[in-house]
Structure formats: structure tokens, C-alpha cells
């Protein structure tokens, strides 16, 4: 906790003073007015930003599931003549970072509503290696979570910190566009991209490199390896695959702004066709996503009630587990949306705790602005956000107990079959559809209605989602 507080203080300090040094660049062809003898009036605090602004920051963050993040990020905004402020004409974003739990982030993103007049274009190119990606099995509570198996402090039950882990590397290239329908608040949406997954068991040689013997992870089978042996994970999905995709849909947007939204609604419905190559051709599928976000002003711009409900369903074909864990978005804002559980869907619940072909989730929060202030030309505010999150399985994986027992007998004869109940629950189907709930409090620091540092503290309501322990997430931007 002391390390976390130190990271947060450093981040706030650097974000305040480095961003204060942002440069504003005026167009070279713009003529300046002649000065007169009369004094110019003082600039109002509400003065808009114009021209280009450029900021470089250390990419310092914390996620309870991924650990401390360290690296560098840069964001370039073009506000032009300020006529669309706090919106921007162009945004270019660069980030390279790594976390203490062996998760990497290398990303470029471009966003503009004005490169192609009347259309929004967003491009994302990301490489996301994850040496210790969370894997907690299928169907939420149908898979038993034994926290003591993965935590060394429980010496009597400890197996390995990597027991609920696998290796996952993701290469993503995406381009998304929308356009207004007849100048209304309704939009058509289209996207194209490629997702390349490499999946496997944790590379213990790499994890244990240069570690003291007492800190090395033991060479034991984790849940991912057991699921592979037991046939729960099919052979043609066990190592990942390449999936080009096409996306299309409709959306409605009446929000007053995209970041720091105070009022309005945003609704989306879209379909994503994921193709597959080679041995993965069985995993061609069609997914349906729908979401509704509503922002209700309660008191001026100081208090806003915000909520989101969303679902992802596999409506045709089969979805490999790694695609089920990838939550589709029309426009990629955060680095990776994983479902369900974690800092982007159900805060407080373990990342990827709920893996299923179809699920739904909801987020409800109040957004309070408790302090506004200026530093130089930059406008800041500090906010508090109490929230409750929930998620549940709608389309489960069909796990047949007899088949699994047969596969164990054939492929894992050393496994004590009487211990299967410590892994999977077959006699209570209600466990599959039981909601996963969590709640907590968020702290926000925003600059110029665009740059948001977000700190969320959340605790699950059921200890089967994380032993009842609280999680902390330090990220950029609001979750929705």
C-alpha cells in the first residue's frame, strides 16, 4: 500500500507540472493582430484551449490484477481555433509500458471527427503481451475459486502463484468509423480489424529468471493445463489463433461531451463477424453487442448520476475462450476490455473471473465534483464516484460431467477424481447464472475536460470472486 501511495503522489505531481508545460502551437499561416496602446482584458478562467498541445508523462498506474505499471505515454491534441473545445480536431496517443506482473502495453491510437468531414475515424495498433494472464475457468461460479492455491501466505494449501494463470500475447489492428444519419444523433458504425492471440502455459523459465530459489514458482500444472488435458479447452483453441473481423451497427448519441459527460444518452447495437484460419476455422462466429449509457444531471455540473448496461452474446458459430474474454467495442478507448471482471467491466471481481460465450453487466455510479482549480492555462477538477458493478452469465459453456470424467481417466490418470468437486460444480445449475456483485469508490483528477486520472477502489460482495479482498485500479479515463 505504501508503494501504491508513492506511485499515486508521483503521478499527480508529474501530471500537474509536466502538463503545465504543454506547448500551444498556432498555425503558421495565421496572421497576428497589431497591438494597441490599450490594455487587453484579463483572460477568463473559462477560456478555451486552441492550437496544438503536447504532453509527455510517465505511464504510471496500478491494477490489482496486473500490478504496478511503469513506462511512458504521450498525447498530442489539436484544438484548432477552439470552436469545438472541449472536443478536439485530432488526437494522437502513444504509450509503451510494462507491469510488475509481466503484462506489457505498446500502443498507438488516432482519433478524429474532422479528418474525414462528417465522420469519426479511430485507428488502434496495439501489442499486448501478458506472461501471467488470469484464467479462472468457465461459467463464473460453476468453476470453484480457491484463493489459497495461488497465495503463498496460505502455506497449508499453496500450490503456485501461477496456478490461475496462462500466457497470452495479443496483436490488435483496428480501424473504426461512424457517420451521422441525415444529420441526426443517430449514427451508422463500421469497423475492420485483426486479432492475433498466442496462448499457452506460463513460461516458468522466463518468470523464474534471476530469482532467488525461495521465490521461484514451482513447475506444477495450473488450471489452464488441466482444462486442456480434460478436454474442457479444445485442442484447436488451446494455443490461440488469428481472427480478422468485420463490424457494423447503429448507435445513438446525445451526450454533451465524450469525456466528463454531464448529460445525455449513448446507445449502441452492433454485430461482429470473427473469421478464423487453419485449424481454428471451427471458430468462425457472429457476436452481438448492445449497450446503453445514460447520464442524468442532478445538480448543475457538480453531480451526475451515470449508469451503463451492456451485453455480449454469441449468436452464431462457436467462440473460443480467449475471444469470449475479449469484450468488443465500437471505438477502443481503454487498452483492453476484458470480460467479465476487472477494472473495465466489474471492478472488484477478479479479471476474467466470468468466462462464457454470452454475458451481461451493469455499472451504476454518482459522479461528484468536489473541487475546481486552475494551474496556468490548464483547468482541473477533483471528483468522487461511489459505484456498484454487477455481471452475470447468459450463455454458458456446456460442460458435461461424464465426458470430463472420461477425459480425466484417459489423459490425466494421476488426478484424484474425488477432487473434481474442488474445481467444478455440476449439481447446482443456479451457480452458473448467479450475479457477481461489487461496489466501491472512485477518485478522479481531470484536466481540460479530456485528460482524466482515475483511481477506483472496489470490493466484491461474494468472497468467491476474490476472497472478499478489495482491489485498486489506477487508469486513464472514466470506465464509461
Q: What is the pLDDT of residue 214?
A: 82
User: What pLDDT, on a 0 to 100 scale, did the predictor assign at position 131?
Assistant: 92
Sign of CA dihedral 346, 367, 270, 199: negative
Alpha-carbon Rg of the chain, whole angstroms?
24
pTM: 0.84
pLDDT value for 331: 83
Is the preceding omega at residue 195 within 30 degrees of 0, hence cis?
A: no
Element (H, E) at 431: helix 430-433
Query: Can you tell me the distance from the alpha carbon of 49 to that of 83, in angstroms, rounded to the nearest whole number?
Result: 9
d(CA 115, CA 480): 25
Each residue's pLDDT expressed in tens, for the chain with a length of 480 residues: 444 444 444 444 444 444 444 433 333 334 333 333 444 444 444 567 788 887 787 777 777 667 788 899 888 988 888 888 878 889 999 999 988 877 889 999 999 988 888 899 999 999 999 999 999 999 999 999 999 999 888 888 999 999 999 999 999 999 999 999 998 999 999 999 999 999 999 999 888 888 888 888 999 999 999 999 999 999 999 999 999 999 999 999 999 988 789 999 999 999 999 998 765 568 899 999 999 999 999 999 899 999 999 999 999 999 999 999 999 998 887 788 887 999 889 999 999 999 999 999 999 999 999 998 888 878 889 999 999 999 999 999 999 999 999 999 999 999 999 999 999 999 888 889 999 999 999 999 988 777 788 999 999 999 999 887 788 998 878 888
d(CA 435, CA 447): 36
Q: Is residue 355 classed exposed, middle or buried when 0-12, 13-18 and 19+ CB atoms within 10 A define those classes?
A: buried
Cα 93 to Cα 64: distance, rounded to the nearest angstrom: 24
Q: E strands, 59-162, where?
A: 61-63, 67-78, 90-99, 104-112, 119-134
pLDDT for the residue 31? 37
Compute the distance between CA of residue 189 and CA of residue 247 in angstroms, rounded to an integer.
Answer: 8
216-244 burial string, b = 16+ CB within 10 Å, else e?
A: ebeeeebbbbbbbbbbbbeeebbebbebe
Confidence at residue 127, expressed as pLDDT on a 0 to 100 scale: 96
Task: Find all residues with CB under 8 Å of 203, minimum gap 6, and list them.
Answer: 131, 167
Q: What is the pLDDT of residue 4?
A: 47
| 472-343-430-237 Cα dihedral, nearest 10 degrees | -130
Amino acid at each position: 500500500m505504501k508503494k501504491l501511495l508513492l506511485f499515486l503522489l508521483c503521478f499527480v505531481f508529474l501530471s500537474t507540472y509536466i502538463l503545465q508545460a504543454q506547448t500551444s502551437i498556432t498555425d503558421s499561416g495565421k496572421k497576428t493582430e497589431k497591438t494597441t496602446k490599450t490594455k487587453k482584458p484579463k483572460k477568463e478562467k473559462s477560456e478555451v484551449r486552441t492550437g496544438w498541445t503536447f504532453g509527455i508523462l510517465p505511464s504510471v498506474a496500478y491494477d490489482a490484477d496486473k500490478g504496478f505499471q511503469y513506462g511512458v505515454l504521450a498525447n498530442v491534441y489539436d484544438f484548432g481555433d477552439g470552436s469545438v473545445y472541449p472536443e478536439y480536431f485530432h488526437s494522437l496517443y502513444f504509450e509503451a509500458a510494462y507491469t510488475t506482473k509481466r503484462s506489457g502495453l505498446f500502443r498507438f491510437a488516432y482519433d478524429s471527427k474532422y479528418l474525414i468531414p462528417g465522420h469519426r475515424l479511430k485507428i488502434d495498433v496495439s501489442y499486448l503481451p501478458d506472461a501471467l494472464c488470469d484464467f479462472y475457468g468457465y461459467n463464473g461460479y460453476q468453476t470453484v475459486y480457491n484463493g489459497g492455491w495461488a497465495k503463498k501466505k496460505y502455506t497449508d494449501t499453496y500450490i503456485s502463484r501461477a496456478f490461475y494463470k496462462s500466457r497470452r500475447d495479443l496483436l490488435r489492428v483496428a480501424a473504426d468509423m461512424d457517420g451521422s444519419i441525415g444529420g441526426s444523433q443517430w449514427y451508422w458504425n463500421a469497423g475492420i480489424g485483426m486479432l492475433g492471440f498466442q496462448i499457452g502455459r506460463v513460461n516458468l523459465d522466463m518468470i523464474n529468471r534471476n530469482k532467488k530459489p525461495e521465490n521461484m514458482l514451482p513447475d506444477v500444472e495450473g488450471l489452464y493445463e488441466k482444462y486442456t488435458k480434460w478436454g474442457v479447452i479444445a485442442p484447436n483453441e488451446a494455443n490461440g489463433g488469428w481472427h480478422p473481423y468485420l463490424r457494423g451497427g447503429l448507435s445513438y448519441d446525445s451526450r454533451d461531451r465524450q469525456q466528463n459527460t454531464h448529460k445525455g444518452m449513448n446507445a449502441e447495437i452492433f454485430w461482429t463477424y470473427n473469421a478464423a484460419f487453419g485449424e481454428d476455422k471451427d471458430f468462425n462466429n457472429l457476436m452481438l453487442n448492445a449497450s446503453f449509457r445514460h447520464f442524468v444531471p442532478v445538480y448543475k455540473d457538480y453531480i451526475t448520476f451515470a449508469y451503463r448496461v451492456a451485453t455480449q452474446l454469441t449468436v452464431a458459430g462457436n467462440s473460443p475462450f480467449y475471444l469470449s474474454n475479449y469484450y468488443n467495442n465500437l471505438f477502443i478507448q481503454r487498452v483492453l476490455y476484458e470480460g467479465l471482471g476487472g477494472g473495465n467491466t466489474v471492478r472488484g471481481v477478479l479479471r476474467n473471473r466470468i468466462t462464457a460465450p454470452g454475458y451481461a453487466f451493469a455499472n451504476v455510479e454518482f459522479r461528484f465534483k468536489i473541487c475546481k482549480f486552475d494551474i496556468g492555462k490548464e483547468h482541473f477538477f477533483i471528483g468522487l464516484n461511489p459505484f456498484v458493478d454487477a455481471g452475470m452469465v447468459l450463455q454458458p459453456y456446456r460442460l458435461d460431467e461424464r465426458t470430463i470424467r472420461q477425459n480425466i481417466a484417459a489423459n490425466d490418470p494421476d488426478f484424484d477424481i474425488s477432487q473434481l468437486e474442488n474445481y467444478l460444480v455440476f449439481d447446482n445449475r443456479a451457480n452458473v447464472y448467479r450475479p457477481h456483485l461489487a461496489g466501491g469508490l472512485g477518485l478522479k483528477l481531470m484536466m481540460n475536460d479530456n485528460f482524466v486520472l482515475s483511481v477506483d477502489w472496489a470490493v466484491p460482495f461474494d468472497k468467491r470472486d476474490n476472497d472478499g479482498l478489495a482491489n485498486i485500479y489506477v487508469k486513464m479515463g472514466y470506465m464509461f
